[in-house]
A and B are shown apart, each in its own frame.
Chain A
């Protein structure tokens, strides 16, 4: 499956917004209604799904879908 699609399917588990309506500018907390714990759990799922290890402090700086995808791209390239 395409990485971005798989990524959005994970996001969709935590929000009412459908994967196809998501845009890169959307913010996790303000626009998608993630709680702080939803976001942490979401990060853990990214690790498991894409087999990467996130630095919690850096990952918590991420605000938008676009930023999260960029972070994921960086990590999967390494």
Chain B
């Protein structure tokens, strides 16, 4: 039984040394690194971190997926340090705040985000070192090559212990503050083992999810390595379809929005083109399985993609559970369900809520004892999702208890966080953010006093509110932008304790 990420990686390095581990694109050239080469780099960086004086420290990573990013992440998590991967698309002020809240002592930064380095120096006194995630020299900053050089040839260091925190993953919180999910070595190693998917070594996967997500980190990278797969890096979502043609993956992990997008393209094609030819053009010719999770997928797409020879297998998870809780598998699946719970997840339904216990359930939220206690009450992870188990043990989901909005691109949005920001504008009387189709809608009841004092017309109110939203959108990554505005005629309906009833936010009058 694997209990640490180090054991997982060691097993892969011993079993698949000469097989390719990673492929990526540099301009239009495909580069690759074998398990042996990758293992040597990871080991050098891991030892280099110790040489630089980092022991049991939190080390942050900011950047999109790259071979350097993955090397650094495994170097941190197979040693005794704790990796804190952050969403590179967040506004700078949010990243600086998270670096401080995570008590990060060092930072690996992608060249694209280099401009952040100066701000980090000013605003994050805890950060002692910043290294650029680049194998090429940089005029201003040290790079990962310096860490590698410091650790090259040193004796291999001990791995973290099963109970040690391996990584902290930030997730939206209902209180409006991101929560740092602490996952241990064992939490993650056990999740990798419990997803009992087998594939022969050398099989090709392509990683398209954001690399700071637990689903991508654990299932694309760690599961991929444990199978001896070649994990190919999609450099940008802009090029996903083109890259499928280049790498020709057999298995991919996606969020539902990606599947919906691909389906749009398939159905827009000339109906005279045979489906197998079209599948080759869009999927690269070898794709057989897409695992999906993160948001609900309309089962319609499962039938649609089956016509092109691709099986879509839906699963369910959350960062707090490292992340997979249940998944459909090639040999046991039921359409519309989110699969059977994985062997190390014991699932019960209490008052309609899905609750989970087992070796992949997080240690807790960093520095948030109250939220941790609420979420892990009685030793069970309270998922906040409503669901049921059928007579064959398949899990079904039918609504969320929490206010979090899950967009179909898999991003979690805390409506309160956005509402609090918008409510700062005097024209905004009451506001509720809802998730509709693929985007966010702001439902706003204008401040009536201000409207009367300024004699604002309906059009002027709408224009003013649109300005508020445009101002907010400017500072946000695209998935957090508000695309819809509803100006309400009446205040929101409130419950007995005076709170707005979110479930009736769409009712006006």
Name A's B-contacting residues (CB within 8 A). Answer: 12-14, 29-30, 33, 35-41, 43-45, 47-48, 54, 56, 59-60
The residues of B that contact A39 with a CB separation of less than 8 Å are: 478
What A residues does B260 contact at CB under 8 A? 35
Report whether A43 and B238 are in contact in the complex, using a CB–CB cutoff of 8 Å. Answer: yes
Shortest distance in angstroms between B183's beta carbon and chain A's nearest beta carbon?
Answer: 27
Considering the chains assembled together, what is the distance between the CA atoms of A56 and B235 in angstroms?
Answer: 11
Residues in chain A near residue B484, CB distance under 8 A = 30
Which secondary structure dominates where chain B touches chain A?
A: helix
**Distance A12 CA – B270 CA, assembled complex (angstroms):** 13
Distance (whole angstroms) from the CB of A29 to the closest CB of chain B: 5
Interface residues of B, CB < 8 Å — how many?
24
Which chain A residues border B239 with CB–CB below 8 Å? 44, 47
In the complex, the answer to whether A37 meets B265 with C-beta atoms within 8 Å is no
B483 interface residue (CB < 8 Å to A): yes
Interchain CA distance A39-B437 in the complex, whole Å: 15
**Nearest residue in A to B267 (C-beta to C-beta)?**
A13
Nearest A residue (CB) for B438: A35
Indicate if the CB atoms of B409 and A37 lie closer than 8 Å. Answer: yes
In the assembled complex, the Cα of A30 lies from the Cα of B482 at a distance in Å of 10
**Interface pairs (20), CB distance under 8 Å:** A13-B264, A13-B265, A13-B268, A14-B268, A29-B439, A33-B437, A35-B257, A35-B260, A35-B409, A36-B479, A36-B481, A37-B258, A37-B261, A38-B261, A40-B236, A41-B237, A41-B238, A41-B240, A44-B242, A47-B238
Q: Does B277 contact A (CB under 8 A)?
A: no
When distances are taken between beta carbons in the complex, the residues of chain A under 8 Å from B236 are 40, 44, 56
Q: Which residue of A lies closest to B237 (CB)?
A: A40
| CB-contacts of B457-509 with A (<8 A) | 478-479, 481, 483-484
* Leading 6 A-B pairs by shortest Cβ distance: A13-B268, A35-B438, A44-B238, A40-B237, A36-B478, A43-B238
Known A35-B409, A37-B257, A37-B258; contact A54-B238, beta-carbon cutoff 8 A? yes
Instruction: Tell me the nearest residue of chain B to A14, going by C-beta.
Output: B264
